[in-house]
Amino acid sequence: MTFVAKPRVHHPLLPINDIGLTRRDYEGSVSTLCAGCGHDSVSAAVIAACAELSIPPHRFAKVSGIGCSSKTPSYFLDKSHGFNSVHGRMPSVATGANLANRSLYCIGVSGDGDSASIGLGQFAHIVRRRINMLYLVDNNGTYGLTKGQFSATNDKGSTSKRGVPNLYEPIDLVTLALQLGASFVARSFSGDKRQLVPLIKAGIKHHGFALIDVISPCVAFNNHSGSTKSYDYVRHHSESVTKIDYVESGQEITADYEPGTTEDVEMPDGSTLRLSKVDANFDPHDRIKALQYVQRRQSEGEVVTGLLYVDPESPDCHDILETIDTPLNELDFADLCPGNAALAPINQSFR
Amino acid sequence: MELKNPSAIERESRAGRYVMKPTNVFDPAYFHKVVDCQWACPAHTPVPEYIRLITQERYTEAYMLNWDSNVFPGVLGRTCDRPCEPACRRVRTEEKPVAICRLKRVAADNKGDISAYLPHVPTVKNGKKIALLGAGPASLAVARDLLPLGYEVHMFDKDTKGGGMMRSQIPAFRLPQTVLEEEVDVILNMGVATHFGHEVTSMKTMLDMGFDAYFIGTGAPRGRELDIPGRQEADAHISIGIDWLSSVAFGHTDSIKGKVIVMGGGNTAMDCCRTSRRLGAESVTVVVRSGFDVMKASDWEKEDAMSEGIPIINNRPPKEFVHENGKLKGVWFECVTQVEENGRVKYVPSGEPDVFMEADHILMAIGQENHCPWIERDLGIDFDKWDCPVLDELTLQSTNPKIFFGGDSAFGPENIIWASAHAHQAAISIHLFCQGQDLKSDRPPEGVNLISQKMGVHEWSYDSAHDPAHRFLVPQADKAITLSNIKVEVELGFDRQLGAAEAQRCLNCDVQTVFTEKLCIECDACVDICPMDCISFVENAQEEDLRLHLMAPATNAEQDLYVSQDLPTGRVMVKDEDVCLHCGLCAERCPTNAWDMQKSVFHLPQLGSY
Ligand SMILES: Cc1cc2nc3c(=O)[nH]c(=O)nc-3n(C[C@H](O)[C@H](O)[C@H](O)COP(=O)(O)OP(=O)(O)OC[C@H]3O[C@@H](n4cnc5c(N)ncnc54)[C@H](O)[C@@H]3O)c2cc1C
Ligand SMILES: Cc1ncc(C[n+]2csc(CCOP(=O)(O)OP(=O)(O)O)c2C)c(N)n1
Ligand code: SF4
Ligand code: SF4
Ligand code: SF4
Ligand SMILES: [Mg+2]
């Protein structure tokens, strides 16, 4: 960590977004994480993505659990709403926040311990409830904050810093999310912002539950030669199956790829995801094939990254519950609490 | 984009593409250039180092560091042309430069006894005798450099005191005599044999005196003439600016009557108008043939003149002096306007009718010229068509190997800091010449030392935090007093407190970001923390391409890119030096110390350094 706050002064040519802000206006307070922690890069990617989307910072709600990863919402978007909840319970808070004010963009940040160990139950349910949010997991295969115990995403046989092997099977959050009906599933690497930033932009704009499992090395406890979540290991064993560009509605699509390998996915808000498949056998619209692909490559020791599955049409929790379009905080008292006259017939219907 | 980067020499990469070569930070020029102010200073004064000494209240050391490289810190802290300030990094990162010049004055005003720091001058001489012609800053600085090596130094000047134009031209309201005398005397007291009141009328006679080498520092003493109708007839009311200023400085002139027009736009014009204002002129107006922006005077000189109520009228070339029987009535001026033709500024008639301005006295300050009629042209000293001596630009040796030039006499009128810079080079040349060595191949090389500033995990031996303060204004004395007495210094200078606050604005550009490839794990921490987006990890390319594909475009081609060797991912680290704050956050964030903050100490060879 640093003790010196990042000076406010910035590069004179820093781009200004559509609402007159620079990337620096989306930052948070100075990070207290270890120098070199992958989580800081994820925060930087969130900052870049939000700025590029030109969404006003106060239109975001950020929620998290407990862990080094869950501390990071303090380090981005300091002019937004936020709730740092208890260990493994971010999904409950996110669900409440999203139900109460559906107009905010909700970003959850969690860790592998927070989501795959203590919070696994909550994780499973927020996926199947399809809360409209971006759920980021800063996955370092360890409990960083409590000094390096194995987490549930740690691969069997990989070792701790002291050389002790992990004896248990790993939980793969990407596989789980695919099984439980998530409509946007991706994996990325904190050290690859070119991939991560467009994924975050798409995840924020996606209507429905979007999971990005970001391998984010813990330099303090899990960046050694026996680890499968180290900078070196991920760089040598990751394989990007799709490249995406996020294109705002009305913007010209400029990226050019080999013909036949690209596909434009229309998002409900008019924006476009330009997908290019690196592996022609891969189909990001087929949940079962995506599952198989990820698992097969995993068994070969490879980490598949990129956008793995997307369904822009699927309903979110509000659609399922047929809730009112207006956020609850904008309803006046009479509408929110219509009184006995409205309650009586409802009660009557249950008798 | 024109590229000036020495490391831009491209090499062929494995894939057959041209890419940038890794930067060699041990090349003394590389980090020297990053210290913008020091690079811009003709004498290469170690600016950030003395500014840090001021923040530590070590004024004497700060003064001596200056004295070593620019010789006249007290004088320069009030009068320097400050090429360092427009170059200051703060201009690019924020807005206004650090008040580098006025901080020099803080060191001078607050210093203690310097005698213990002065170089030792041996009593037993080395047997070589050197003649210095002129006692201006150039000759004085040569004397200072040569004396500690045992040379017998003789200085000749037609004036009765040393100092040259620092004494005869710069008015006392900008430079008090006591300040000048103190710094001149320090050098004279090192053991200069002075021959003052001695006008040199023949160089041949000087050569016959048999000195081992000669340094000519007689300045550019002739004010330029203006040949327009009425010039001769009205002569009694027209003075050459520099002649008039020296007659004021030496007490021969103590008033000026009526309406005064100062013609010219350089620093002489500014000193003439401000001096007239103090000597009783009814009105003073500066009239310049060119536009305001292209005037030779610095912005602050123009501001100072205007703040004393002196109007500056531009784009008015003079046409004719109007007189009645030799009594000046005024001047006709033409009206012109600036036009750009093929990228060059030209002046064409604006179409407005000529203007007549009443005047009782004209001060002409339209330039100075080299003029040495006393140097016979058959002594092997060649002169060019502008009457400047033909010199080697590095060694300052003339075509007569015994004779060296420096200061205004060398390449035409410059300023005091250039005089000091020439003097150091000329002194080295004179020394090599007297020792029978080659002036170029035996010249001592430049060097650089890199010293880590790390003191603990997050502790640096310099104040790394960025200070967002704006430039502080130098307090001035009450105008009622300064405008009525030519001897009262206008600026009061920063006191210690203001000086310390201004000193904090310095970005410590000599504390360098030094990158060690083999330690880097490419975690991006430095990229993310850098407030100025200086650092990028990218694929290597040709410089033009690379400059456009960084975290922020590197459009200032004057500033170098620092390129690493290839990293494990095949990329390179590229740092744009342009707007780095030297805040050290990259080094604090780096988990492996691949970044370190190291002070670059540039070694400029110089004789007799203390
Ligand atoms: C009005 C005015 C204001 C200026 N203000 C500034 C300023 O604010 N800051 C700045 O940096 N520079 C300023 N300058 C420029 C600066 O004064 C000169 O660049 C500098 O003094 C040059 O130094 P020098 O040693 O080459 O020569 P000079 O200072 O000109 O000294 C030459 C000496 O040689 C002597 N000499 C000449 N011929 C003979 C001879 N034949 N025999 C004997 N002695 C001789 C002269 O008497 C003089 O003492 C100013 C100049 C003028 C005219
Ligand atoms: C209810 C509860 N149980 C245990 C803890 C102790 N604890 C704090 S953080 C943490 C693990 C965090 O791991 P992860 O979510 O992977 O975050 P990381 O620090 O690795 O980013 C644990 C077990 C706690 N704070 N609360
Ligand atoms: S302990 Fe690990 S996860 Fe936590 S801040 Fe340090 S490097 Fe990051
Ligand atoms: S900030 Fe300081 S070191 Fe940097 S250029 Fe300006 S004065 Fe020199
Ligand atoms: S010192 Fe490092 S972090 Fe600070 S501005 Fe320069 S490159 Fe960026
Ligand atoms: Mg973890």
Cβ < 6 A, ligand 2 pocket: A 66-69, 87, 111-114, 118, 138, 140, 142-146, 151
Rounded to the nearest angstrom, the distance between the alpha carbon of A163 and the centre of ligand 6 is 18
Inter-CA distances, B6 with B22, B33, B44, B560, Å? 11, 11, 19, 8
Give the tens place of pLDDT for each residue, A81-135.
999 999 999 999 999 999 999 999 999 999 999 999 999 999 999 999 999 999 9
pLDDT (0 to 100) of residue B345: 83
Domain assignment of residue B210, yes or no: yes
Ligand 4 atom 3, closest CA:
B509
Distance CA B579, CA A307 (A): 37
pLDDT band of residue A350 (cuts 50, 70, 90) is: very high
Closest to B574 in 3D by CA, of B21, B36, B4, B34: B21
> Does pLDDT of B610 surpass 50?
no
**pLDDT tens sequence across B273-322:** 999 999 999 999 999 999 999 999 999 999 999 999 999 999 999 999 99
What is the model's pLDDT at position A253?
A: 58
The amino acid sitting at B202 is S
> What is the model's pLDDT at position B342?
86
Residue B10 confidence (pLDDT) above 50: no
Q: Would an 8 Å CB–CB cutoff place B553 in contact with chain A?
A: yes
Could you tell me if B67 and B21 lie in one domain? no
Q: Are residues B56 and B159 in the same domain?
A: no
The predicted structure's pLDDT at residue B265: 95
Ligand 1 binding pocket (C-beta < 6 A) is B 79-81, 134-139, 156-159, 164-166, 169-170, 199-200, 217-219, 221, 242, 245, 267-268, 271, 374, 407-409, 413-417, 419
Domain boundaries, chain A: 23-326
Q: Residue A143 — φ and ψ, nearest 5°?
A: -90, 90
**Cα–Cα nearest to B223, from B362, B363, B416, B367:** B367
Instruction: Say if residue B17 is in the same domain as residue B90.
Output: no
Q: Is A43 on the interface with B (CB under 8 A)?
A: yes
**B487 to each of B175, B249, B258, B476, B484, how far by Cα in Å?**
9, 10, 22, 14, 9
Task: Report phi then psi at B352, rounded to 5.
Answer: -75, 150
- B79 located within any domain: yes
- What value does the mean pLDDT of chain B take? 94
| Pocket flag, ligand 3, residue A131 (CB < 6 Å) | no
Question: Considering every ligand atom, which ligand is closest to the CA of B465?
Answer: 5
Pairing assessment for the beta strands B18-20 and B10-12 based on DSSP bridges: antiparallel
A219 and B523: CB-CB below 8 Å?
yes
Helix residue ranges per DSSP H, chain A: 38-53, 68-71, 90-100, 112, 120-129, 173-179, 193-205, 231-237, 287-299, 317-321, 333-336, 340-350
Per-residue pLDDT tens for B459-479? 899 999 999 999 999 999 999
Are B98 and B183 in a shared domain?
no
**Taking 80 as the threshold, does the pLDDT of residue A251 lie above it?**
no
Residue B164 and residue B157: Cα distance in Å, rounded? 8
Does an H or E element contain B349, and which? strand B344-349
- A14 reaches B (C-beta below 8 A): yes
Chain B residues inside the 8 Å CB shell of A193: 524
Q: How far is A190 from chain B (nearest CA, A)?
A: 8
In terms of residue numbers, what domain contains B28? 6-32+508-603
pLDDT 10s digits, B60-83: 999 999 999 999 999 999 999 999
Q: Is B98 in the pocket of ligand 4 (CB under 6 A)?
A: yes
- The Cα B425–Cα B414 span in angstroms is 16
pLDDT of amino acid A301: 86
Residues B60 and B137 in one domain: no
Conformation bin of residue B567: beta by default, left when phi > 0, alpha when psi is -120 to 50 = beta
Q: Which residues of A touch B583 (CB under 8 A)?
A: 4, 7
What per-residue confidence (pLDDT) applies to B213? 98
* pLDDT tops 80 at residue A260: no
C-alpha A17 to ligand 5 mean position (Å): 24
pLDDT reported for residue A283: 86
Residue B196 lies in a domain: yes
> What is the pLDDT confidence band of residue A271, given thresholds at 50, 70 and 90?
confident
Contact A13 B568 (CB under 8 A): no
Q: Which of B434, B454, B486 is the last residue of a domain?
A: B434
Helix, strand, coil distribution of chain A in percent, nearest 5: 35, 20, 45
Choice among A10-14, B5-9, B204-208, B249-253 with the minimum mean pLDDT: B5-9
Least confident of A234-248, B124-138, B206-220: A234-248
Mean pLDDT of A288-313: 92
Q: How far is the CA of B48 from the centre of ligand 4 (A)?
A: 6
Whether residues B360 and B378 fall in one domain: no
Cβ–Cβ under 8 Å, residues B477 and B304: no
pLDDT at position B386 is 84
Quick check: is B440 in a domain?
A: no
Three-class DSSP labels, B80-127? CCCCHHHHCCHHHHCCCCCCHHHHHHHHHHHCCCCHHHCCCCCCCCCC
User: ∠ at Cα A180 (A41, A285), nearest 5°?
Assistant: 75
Question: Which residues on neighbouring strands pair with residue A212, listed in sequence order?
Answer: A136, A186
Q: Is the dihedral of CA B304, B305, B307, B312 positive or negative?
A: negative
Distances from the Cα of A171 to the Cα of A89, A123, A296, A325, B424, angstroms? 18, 12, 15, 37, 73
Nearest CA in chain B to A44: B528
The pLDDT value recorded for residue A248 is 82
Q: Find the mean pLDDT for residues A70-79.
A: 97
Top residue of A1, A3, A4 to mutate, by most chain B CBs within 10 Å, is: A4
B205 and B324 inside one domain: no
In a domain, B163, yes or no: yes
Give the distance from residue A36's alpha carbon to the nearest chain B alpha carbon, in angstroms.
5
> Quick one: average pLDDT of B353-359?
94
* Residue B562, strand partner residues: B575
Per-residue model confidence (pLDDT) at position A140: 97
Q: How many domains does chain B have?
A: 4
Looking at residue B12, what is its pLDDT? 44
Q: Per-residue confidence at A186, pLDDT binned at 50, 70, 90?
A: very high
Q: Which residue has the higher pLDDT, A174 or A248?
A: A174
CA angle B377, B399, B194 (to 5 degrees): 75
CATH of residue B211 = 3.50.50.60
Ligand 1 atom with the shortest distance to the CA of B140: 25
**Given the CA of residue B589, which atom of ligand 5 is nearest to it?**
3
Same domain, B286 and B403: no
User: How far apart are alpha carbons B330 and B234 in whole angstroms?
Assistant: 10
Nearest Cα residue to B243 out of B118, B96, B82, B368:
B368
The predicted model gives A147-171 an average pLDDT of: 94
pLDDT score at B33: 97
Instruction: Give the pLDDT score at A5.
Output: 84
Closest listed residue to residue B388, CA positions, set B216, B135, B183: B216
Cβ <8 Å between A7 and B522: no
Q: Which residues of A touch B589 (CB under 8 A)?
A: 2, 35-36, 40
- Last residue of one domain, picked from the residues B484, B503, B522: B503
The per-residue pLDDT for B14 is 46
Q: Is B103 in the pocket of ligand 4 (CB under 6 A)?
A: no
Give the C-alpha separation, A87 to A142, whole Å: 15
Q: Which pLDDT score, from 0 to 100, does residue A167 have?
A: 95
For residues B521 and B490, membership in a common domain is answered with no
Among B601, B594, B580, B564, residue whose Cα is nearest residue B454: B594
Contacts of B591 (CB under 8 A, 6+ apart): A34, A35, A36, A219, B521, B523, B525
From chain B, pick out residues whose CB is under 8 angstroms from the CB of A40.
525, 528-529, 589
Please say if the pLDDT value at position B4 is more than 50: no
pLDDT by residue (tens digit) across A190-216?
Answer: 999 999 999 999 999 999 999 999 999
Helical packing angle, A38-53 and A193-205, nearest 10°: 50
CA distances from B503 to A80, B87, B220, B494, B562 (A): 37, 17, 36, 11, 28
Q: Do B525 and A37 touch (CB under 8 A)?
A: yes
Same domain for B357 and B265, yes or no, is yes
Specify the CATH number for the domain of residue B551.
Answer: 3.30.70
Q: Which is it for the CA torsion B267, B268, B273, B274, positive or negative? A: positive
| Average model confidence (pLDDT) across chain A | 93
Architecture of the domain spanning A23-326: 3-Layer(aba) Sandwich (3.40)
Residue B223: predicted pLDDT: 87
Q: Is B580 in the pocket of ligand 5 (CB under 6 A)?
A: yes
Tell me, yes or no, whether B448 lies in a domain: no
Smallest CA separation from ligand 1 atom 14, residue: B415
pLDDT band of B11, cuts 50, 70, 90: very low
Nearest Cα to Cα of residue B64 among B115, B139, B121 = B115
Say what the pLDDT of residue A258 is.
Answer: 59
Query: Looking at B503, B524, B556, which one is the last position of a domain?
Result: B503
Read off the DSSP letter of residue A311.
-
The pLDDT of residue A243 is 85
Ligand 3 pocket check for A221: Cβ under 6 Å: yes
Q: If you average pLDDT over residues A123-148, what whole number do you get?
A: 97
* Residue nearest atom 1 in ligand 5 by C-alpha distance: B582
Q: Considering CB atoms only, which of B466, B522, B590 is closest to A7?
A: B466
Residue (of B583, B533, B581) closest to B554 by Cα position: B533
Is a pLDDT exceeding 50 seen at residue B546? Answer: yes
**Which CATH number belongs to the domain containing residue B110 in this structure?**
1.10.1060.10
Asked if residue A27 has pLDDT above 80, the reply is yes
Place of tokens 């790829």: A257
Quick check: is B275 in a domain? Answer: yes
